[in-house]
Amino acid sequence: MFTGDIPLRIPVNQTHLTSLDLSFNKLNGTLPSWLFTSPSLEYLFLNDNMFTGDIPSEISVNLTHLTFLQLSYNSLNGTLPSWLYTSPSLEYLCLDNNMLSGNVPFDSFALPSLKMLDLRNNNLLGGQIDLQTFPQLTNLTDLDLSYNNFSGELELDTLLSTLTNLEYLYLSYSGFSVTTNNANHYVNPGFISLGLASCKLKVFPNSFRAMKQLRYLDLSSNEIHGQIPNWAGEIGGTHGLDYLNLSHNFITGLPHFQWYRLEQLYLQSNLIEGPFPPSICNMSQLRYLDMSNNRFDGVIPRSFGNISSSLRMIDMGNNSFQGTIPNIYGDCGGLEGLILKGNQLEGELPSSLSKCQSLKVVDFGNNHLNGTFPGWLGALPNLQALVLKSNNFHGHIQPSSTVDSPFPSLLVLDLSHNQFEGQLSAKYFQNFNSMKNIVKNSTKPEYLKMGGEYYSAVVAVKGVDLHGEFGLEEEEEKTCIYREMRLENQSRVSASASEL
Residue 127 CA, chain-centre distance (Å), reads 27
pLDDT band at 485 (very low <50, low <70, confident <90, very high): very low
Choose from 217-226, 297-306, 455-464, 489-498 the range with maximum mean pLDDT. 217-226
Q: Which residues on neighbouring strands pair with residue 368, listed in sequence order?
A: 346
CA angle 240, 245, 246 (to 5 degrees): 110
E-strand ranges in 46-191 read 50-53, 68-70, 75-78, 92-94, 99-103, 116-118, 124-127, 142-144, 149-150, 153-155, 168-170, 177-179
What pLDDT is recorded for position 479?
26
Are 168 and 192 contacting, i.e. CB atoms less than 8 angstroms apart?
Answer: yes
What whole-number distance in Å separates Cα of residue 54 and Cα of residue 75? 9
State the average pLDDT over residues 460-484.
Answer: 45
Please tell me the least confidently modeled range out of 124-133, 270-279, 437-446, 456-465: 437-446
73 inside domain:
yes
Count: domains in the chain: 1
* pLDDT > 60? residue 277: yes
CA angle 90, 91, 96 (to 5 degrees): 95
What whole-number distance in Å separates Cα of residue 124 and Cα of residue 150? 9
Half-sphere exposure of 281 (CA within 13 A, CB side): 15
Give pLDDT tens digits for 151-160. Answer: 999 999 989 9
348 inside domain:
no
Q: Higher pLDDT residue, 203 or 12?
A: 203
Provide the domain limits for residue 4: 1-151
121 inside domain:
yes
What pLDDT is recorded for position 500?
40
Amino acid at 152: G
Give pLDDT tens digits for 387-398. Answer: 999 999 999 988
Give pLDDT tens digits for 429-454. Answer: 777 777 766 555 555 555 566 666 66
What pLDDT is recorded for position 256?
85
105 inside domain:
yes
Amino acid at 355: K
101 inside domain:
yes
What whole-number distance in Å separates Cα of residue 339 and Cα of residue 325? 11
Q: What is the CATH number of the domain that holds 130?
A: 3.80.10.10
3 inside domain:
yes
Q: Which residues contact 311 (CB under 8 A, 6 or more apart)?
A: 286, 287, 288, 289, 332, 334, 335
Q: For residue 27, what are the CA distances in angstroms to 52, 56, 77, 96?
A: 10, 17, 16, 18
State the average pLDDT over residues 106-129.
Answer: 88
Q: Tell me what percent of the residues of the chain surpass a pLDDT of 90.
A: 58
Q: Higher pLDDT residue, 466 or 301?
A: 301
99 inside domain:
yes
What whole-number distance in Å separates Cα of residue 247 and Cα of residue 223? 10
Q: Higher pLDDT residue, 80 or 109?
A: 80
Ramachandran sector of residue 458 (left: φ over 0; alpha: ψ -120 to 50; beta: rest):
beta
pLDDT band at 331 (very low <50, low <70, confident <90, very high): confident
User: What pTM, to 2 d.p., does this model score?
Assistant: 0.89
What pLDDT is recorded for position 51?
95
Backbone angles phi, psi at 327, to 5 degrees: -70, 150
* pLDDT > 80? residue 350: yes
pLDDT band at 292 (very low <50, low <70, confident <90, very high): very high
pLDDT band at 11 (very low <50, low <70, confident <90, very high): low
Please tell me the least confidently modeled range out of 37-41, 93-97, 448-452: 448-452
386 inside domain:
no
CA angle 78, 83, 86 (to 5 degrees): 135
Choose from 69-78, 176-185, 406-415 the range with maximum mean pLDDT. 69-78
